[in-house]
Amino acid sequence: MIFNIQKCSIHDGNGLRTLVFFKGCPLRCPWCANPESQSYEKEIMEFQARCIGCGACLTVCPQSSVKKTDDGFIIDRSICNHCFRCTDRCYAESKRVVGESYTVEALFKEIAKDKLYYSMYGGGVTFSGGEPLTQPQFLTEIAEKCVENGINVAVESCGYGNFDTFKGALPYINSMFLDIKHIDSDIHKDLTGIGNEVILENIKKITNFGIPITLRTPLIPGFNDTTKNIEGIASFISTLHNVAGYEILPYHNFGESKYKALGIPYSLQGTVAPSDEEVRAFVKCANTILQHHNIYCFYVKDNHKEVIK
């Protein structure tokens, strides 16, 4: 199940890349910028700014789950049975299905459209999510297809999955980006719903396999923005092989509107992004440990990597 294909990305691997977003993730991070990636099933997103007020969605709903409100025609999701008739009828795409099933052949055809640009700019395809590792057979087949056709493959992952089922994909992956949200497993479970033991073990196994990885930590105020956490993550990273770098990702609320579109609350409303000075301090903190192992922490500012030693 794929929920988006984004062209011409420059932030998710080397060169110019196509991002393919797998739908479905076992974690429930409250800061997730793509909440539509969490469910493994098709969903409906509502964009009231597009609504033209025709009411067609209301007339075709067999459950009478579409209600006319002061904010427009809104789905009562407690009684919606996901028949998707409202999305089929919505002329303005105010109500839209998110999630589409692809065959390997159909997805590769879409990826291969930009093969010329990959060769010109050193790019390729990046499989993101959601969590690609939890759809291991499809990931293996599409990655193998890409490699056979000379397309570089990267994967972005939270690191959670059954290694024995996804290890078949590893020979066809050129690089990976893996998240460590928190080094303390109990806190990690409180934040995401799952402890970090499987994630850290998978990271070790992937690096031992030989795939170059970039580790990432989303820096979320009030959740994991402590010196103790960053030092703990840096200490763990210092024990690994094949680490290309450690990136701090400052919190942003760019996905907040998507929560409303899915009819779910955004629990981090009002959270303020960390200042540039705060981010730099955490990068420097990590580098006090990592630089002794020829690994460097960085963050991206104005499309450039900033390393503070």
Q: How far apart are CA 69 and CA 67, in angstroms?
A: 6
What is the pLDDT at residue 226?
A: 97
- CATH topology classification for 43-97: Alpha-Beta Plaits (3.30.70)
What is the pLDDT at residue 156?
A: 98
What is the pLDDT at residue 309?
A: 72
Q: How far apart are CA 243 and CA 258, in angstroms?
A: 33
Q: For the stretch 79-90, what's the b/e string if a residue is b when 16 or more beta carbons lie within 10 angstroms of its beta carbon?
A: ebeeeebbbeeb
- The Cα-based distances of 208 to 14, 197, 202, 241 in angstroms read 22, 17, 10, 7
Segment 43-68 shows an average pLDDT of 92
Domain boundaries along the sequence of the chain: 2-39+100-306, 43-97
- Tell me what the pLDDT averaged over the chain comes to: 94
Which pairs from 196-203 meet CB under 8 Å and 24+ separation?
A: 198/159, 198/160, 198/161, 199/158, 199/159, 199/160, 200/159, 200/236, 201/163, 202/133, 202/159, 202/160, 202/161, 202/163, 203/159, 203/178, 203/240
- The Cα-based distances of 258 to 32, 53, 271 in angstroms read 10, 21, 16
Cα of first residue to Cα of last residue in the chain, in angstroms, is 42
What is the pLDDT at residue 117?
A: 87
**In the structure, what pLDDT confidence band is assigned to residue 126 with cuts at 50, 70 and 90?**
very high
Let me know: does 86 contact 54? Beta carbons within 8 Å: no
Which residues, at least 6 apart from 171, have a Cβ–Cβ distance to it below 8 Å? none
What is the pLDDT at residue 12?
A: 83
Which residues, at least 6 apart from 82, have a Cβ–Cβ distance to it below 8 Å? 41, 42, 43, 44
Give yes or no for residue 303 having a pLDDT over 80. no
Give me the percent of the chain exceeding a pLDDT of 90: 89
pLDDT digits (tens, 9 = 90+) for 267-293: 999 999 999 999 999 999 999 999 999
What is this structure's pTM? Answer: 0.93
Dihedral sign for Cα atoms in the order 25, 260, 258, 180: negative
CATH label, 2-39+100-306, candidates 2.40.100.10, 1.10.357.10, 3.10.580.10, 3.20.20.70? 3.20.20.70
Q: Which two tokens stand for residue 199?
A: 């994630």
**In the structure, what pLDDT confidence band is assigned to residue 196 with cuts at 50, 70 and 90?**
very high
Give me the percent of the chain exceeding a pLDDT of 70: 100
What is the pLDDT at residue 217?
A: 98
Which residues, at least 6 apart from 69, have a Cβ–Cβ distance to it below 8 Å? none
